[in-house]
Amino acid sequence: MFLLQILKNDKGGRWLIGLLIALIVAVPVLNSLPADSALHVPTYTISLLGKYLTLALLAVAVDLVWGYLGILTLGHAAFFALGGYAMGMYLMRQIGDRGVYGNPDLPDFMVFLNWQELPWFWSGFDQFWFAALMVLLVPGLLAYVFGALAFRSRVSGVYLSIITQALTYALMLAFYRNEMGFGGNNGLTDFKDIIGFSLSDDATKIGLFIASAVALMVGYLISRALTESRAGRACVAVRDAESRARFMGYRVENIKLWVFTISAMIAGVAGALYVPQVGIINPNEYSPLNSIEVVVWVAVGGRASLYGAVIGALLINYAKSYFTVELPDVWLFALGGLFVLVTLFLPKGVVGLIRKKESV
């Protein structure tokens, strides 16, 4: 009943949830078909789809703050990467003595760097529940502290965008350092197991795909429930007329802070599900370019629609997978050109075009 109430006026959301449920049911069945069958879905494709779904969840997180609060964040890659590193640390602790250097207490890169003991901030990451908790708490805490400083100082507009970009760039430079204890340039990789299941097994890859689909559904529903609530209407008021909302008695800083924090936690979950499916996490995930790409996904799909962000993420990442293989030298130019074209001729994105056709 609650689910129906959330999606009552959200036709696109109903389609999205229905499609995700259909994928959860159909993909494992199609994977079990003989490899020579025309309907067979190979495990590689399932892992790729799972990766796309985690990136779509990241796009939903960005749309929540950009589309409904008007905050153009260029730093959500930081929260995504922090969630990914939290999961990567857990996965590294599962390798044990099967690593290259065979030390059950230290990850291989620490043995290589002659570290004698595990740093204190790695404690607890041998337990999945602790890592899952950190996936939420670490990005959420960073977003809360950053937001408290920025929003209560009334930093907004392009200045806030620049500061968010500076945040993710600073984290990228910090994580490149071996002294930080996160693997330096190479990051964390060579994962073996997750909660006792081998990451090389087809069943585990299918399980991660299903987990990604479920996480996208849950993240979407949380975001939709927020935007349909009184708090969501307050967010739109802050986006469209911040000064008027402030004069009417709304605590604008608190509204921004809590929505920004929730968005960061959603991004952290996306990063945590992304890492075991791609098999690596390194400082490049903090790159400001990644945050800018997410903004392009949301713009192409359609701001302030949530399901439009999912559409944009899936379309752009599929195109990226294709063109980086077929035409690697022109991909970034194509991405930039697409953003310009959407801005000039399709300001409401793909969703705006769909709504226009439905209204005709």
Q: Could you report the per-residue pLDDT of 251-282, keeping only the tens digit for each?
A: 999 999 999 999 999 999 999 999 999 999 99
Q: Which residues contact 271 (CB under 8 A, 6 or more apart)?
A: 54, 58, 79, 80, 81, 82, 83, 84, 85, 87, 135, 139, 281, 285
Distances (CA, A) of 187 to 6, 85, 183, 322, 345: 40, 9, 4, 26, 41
pTM of the predicted model as reported, rounded to 2 decimal places: 0.95
CA-CA-CA-CA torsion sign (118, 124, 127, 128): negative
Q: Count the neighbouring beta carbons within 10 Å of the beta carbon of residue 25.
A: 11
- Give pLDDT, residue 336: 78
Domain count, the chain: 1
CA-CA-CA-CA torsion sign (267, 295, 308, 4): positive
Q: Which of 61, 52, 54, 60 is nearest to 79 (CA)?
A: 61
Rounded CA gap, 199 and 46, in Å? 13
Beta bridge partners of 194: 197
Question: Hunting for tokens 């259909």 — which residue is that?
Answer: 22
DSSP assignment of 69-95: H----S-HHHHHHHHHHHHHHHHHHTT
- CB-based contact 102:96 (threshold 8 Å): no
Residue 96 belongs to domain spanning: 2-359
Rounded CA gap, 128 and 271, in Å? 15
Q: How many residues does the chain have?
A: 360
Rounded CA gap, 304 and 64, in Å? 7
- CB-based contact 224:13 (threshold 8 Å): yes
Q: Which residues contact 51 (CB under 8 A, 6 or more apart)?
A: 212, 274, 277, 278, 317
Q: Could you report the per-residue pLDDT of 90-120, keeping only the tens digit for each?
A: 999 999 888 888 888 899 999 888 898 999 9
Phi-psi region of 163 (alpha: psi -120 to 50; beta: other; left: phi over 0): alpha
Q: Which of 281, 288, 282, 85 is nearest to 169 (CA)?
A: 288
Q: Which of 82, 93, 59 is nearest to 143 (CA)?
A: 82
* Distance from the Cα of residue 284 to its chain's centroid: 15
Amino acid 236 reads: V
DSSP assignment of 102-150: --SSS-HHHHHTT--S--GGGTTTTSHHHHHHHHHHHHHHHHHHHHHHH
- Give pLDDT, residue 195: 94
Q: Which of 70, 252, 259, 262 is nearest to 161 (CA)?
A: 70
Low-confidence ranges of the chain (pLDDT < 50): none
